[in-house]
């Protein structure tokens, strides 16, 4: 193939919408469905790149908003791009900052041209336009860049959601026009809030624009999970079959399983590493608050059968001690485990899809209701 990016749809599960695919990028292949660890500030918190290799991460996500503010995209470019800067030579995806300017920064003003916001670091004023965001993402140089979008509050009414969606579509066009890097794939983002008609319209509009892949944004932002699942069902027929589908900011274990079932190929979520730093471990038998006294004399690993470095070598009792003693190693070990847990869940999901038994696989795990 001449083109640097292509998605192979290898197989679709016979009984669900789950897809087994392979996305080719300049920094390697991503077997899908895939979970992407989040490296907000050009580092997956408490993980070295070799730790990420060790948990078998295929791709990581980093945040345009954060890197623009600190250290600045120009500096990252000067360093040789994000891969070189953070010493990660596998694929990277950068979001567009759309979600962060609406959730994290203080917004002054949303205009047709762009968004005025205040830095969460020092309160300084900044203006993001689609063109500016494309400049930043191209400077960062990830394999996948996301269009700048408006992530509308799900509590806003239909009329507002229409305006936000239409603006997102116009911004997507401007992004396409401004995006020139051939070694970077630009993904469009389906919006439309909690309104099925708008989601369908957004999926159709973006499909007609022929992006290399598609994000689904503005879900899991406060609405109940079943609303998100229904929405994924609703838009599925309108998403191009031969393009990767990325459910943005979603990746708890139950959402991973439910999302895959509905044809999602890519996920990202900070839950794995954030909860790890609070001593919460994910396992197929439920969450463990490792700080609890019940683990004081528990000399078993976090999760029996897990092949991560933490589970191969350390006990719950030791990790509990580290947590109680405020030791950094606790965050390192539990992060490793939670990432490996999620990546292994996706590995097993991929195998289940190949064997047309994804429904049983997911049902068995979801039935434990332990996530």
CA atoms within 13 A on the CB side of 142: 26
Pairing type for strands 144-146 and 185-190 reads parallel
300 is a contact residue toward a second copy (CB under 8 A): no
Element (H, E) at 82: helix 82-86
Out of 4, 71, 154, 196, the only residue in the binding site for a second copy (CB under 8 A) is: 71
Q: Does 318 bind a second copy (CB under 8 A)?
A: yes
55 binds a second copy (CB under 8 A): no
Shortest distance, position 339 Cβ to a second copy, whole Å: 14
276: contact with a second copy by CB under 8 A: no
* CA angle 95–96–98, rounded 5-degree value: 115
The least CB distance from residue 311 to a second copy, in Å, is 12
The smaller minimum CB distance to a second copy, of residues 23 and 318, is found at 318
Q: Which two tokens stand for residue 239?
A: 């998403």
- Active-site residue, from 13, 143, 149, 268: 268
**∠ CA 13-269-208, rounded to 5°:** 60
Query: What are the Cα distances from residue 371, in Å, to 30, 116, 287?
Result: 26, 38, 6
For residue 198, give the DSSP letter.
Answer: H
Cβ(238)–Cβ(214) below 8 Å:
no
Q: Least distance from C-beta 307 to a second copy, angstroms?
A: 15
Minimum distance between the CB of residue 324 and a second copy, rounded to whole angstroms? 6
307 contacts a second copy (rule: CB under 8 A): no
Quick one: which of 46, 175, 308, 349 contacts a second copy (CB under 8 A)? 46
Asked if 52 and 75 count as a contact pair (C-beta separation under 8 A), the reply is: no
Residue 3 beta carbon to a second copy: minimum distance, rounded to whole angstroms:
31
**If you ran DSSP here, which 8-state letter would residue 248 be given?**
T
Query: How far is it, in rounded angstroms, from Cα 105 to Cα 253?
Result: 28
Residue 334 binding a second copy, by CB under 8 A: no
- Cβ-in-10-Å burial (0-12, 13-18, 19+) of 356 comes to middle
Answer yes or no whether residue 56 interacts with a second copy by CB under 8 A. no
298 is catalytic: no
Near a second copy by CB under 8 A: residue from 47, 139, 145, 185: 47
Any idea which residues carry the catalytic annotation?
95, 268
Can you give the binding site for a second copy, defined by CB under 8 A? 41-43, 45-50, 66, 70-71, 75, 78-80, 85-87, 296-297, 299, 309, 313-315, 317-318, 320-322, 324-325, 327-329, 331-333
């Amino acid at each position: 193939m001449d083109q640097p990016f292509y998605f192979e749809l290898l197989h679709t599960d016979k009984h669900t919408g789950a897809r087994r695919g392979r996305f080719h990028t300049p920094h390697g292949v991503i077997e899908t469905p895939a979970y992407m660890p989040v490296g907000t500030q050009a580092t997956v918190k408490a993980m070295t790149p070799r730790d990420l290799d060790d948990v078998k991460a295929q791709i990581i996500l980093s945040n345009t908003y954060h890197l623009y503010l600190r250290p600045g995209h120009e500096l990252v470019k000067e360093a040789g791009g994000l891969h070189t800067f953070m010493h990660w030579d596998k694929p990277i995806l950068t979001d567009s900052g759309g979600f962060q300017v609406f959730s994290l920064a203080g917004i002054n003003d949303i205009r047709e041209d762009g968004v005025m916001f205040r830095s969460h670091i020092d309160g300084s004023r900044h203006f993001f336009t689609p063109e500016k965001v494309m400049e930043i993402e191209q400077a960062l140089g990830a394999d996948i860049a996301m269009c700048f979008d408006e992530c509308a509050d799900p509590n806003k009414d239909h009329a507002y959601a229409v305006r936000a969606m239409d603006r997102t579509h116009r911004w997507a066009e401007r992004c396409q026009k401004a995006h020139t890097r051939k070694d970077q794939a630009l993904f469009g983002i389906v919006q439309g809030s909690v309104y099925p008609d708008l989601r369908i319209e957004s999926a159709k509009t973006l499909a007609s624009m022929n992006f290399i892949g598609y994000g689904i944004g503005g879900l899991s932002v406060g609405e109940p999970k079943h609303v998100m699942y229904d929405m994924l069902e609703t838009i599925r027929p309108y998403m191009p079959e031969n393009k990767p589908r990325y459910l943005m900011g979603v990746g708890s274990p139950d959402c991973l399983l439910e999302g895959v079932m509905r044809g999602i190929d890519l996920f990202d979520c900070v839950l794995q590493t954030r909860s790890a730093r609070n001593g919460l471990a994910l396992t197929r038998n439920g969450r463990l608050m490792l700080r609890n006294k019940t683990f004081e004399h528990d000399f078993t690993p976090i999760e029996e059968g897990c092949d991560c470095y933490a589970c191969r070598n350390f006990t719950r009792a030791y990790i509990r001690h580290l947590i109680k003693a405020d030791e950094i190693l606790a965050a390192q070990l539990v992060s490793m485990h939670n990432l490996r847990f999620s990546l292994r869940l996706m590995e097993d999901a991929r195998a289940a899809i190949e064997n047309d038994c994804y429904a049983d696989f997911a049902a068995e795990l979801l039935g434990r209701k332990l996530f």
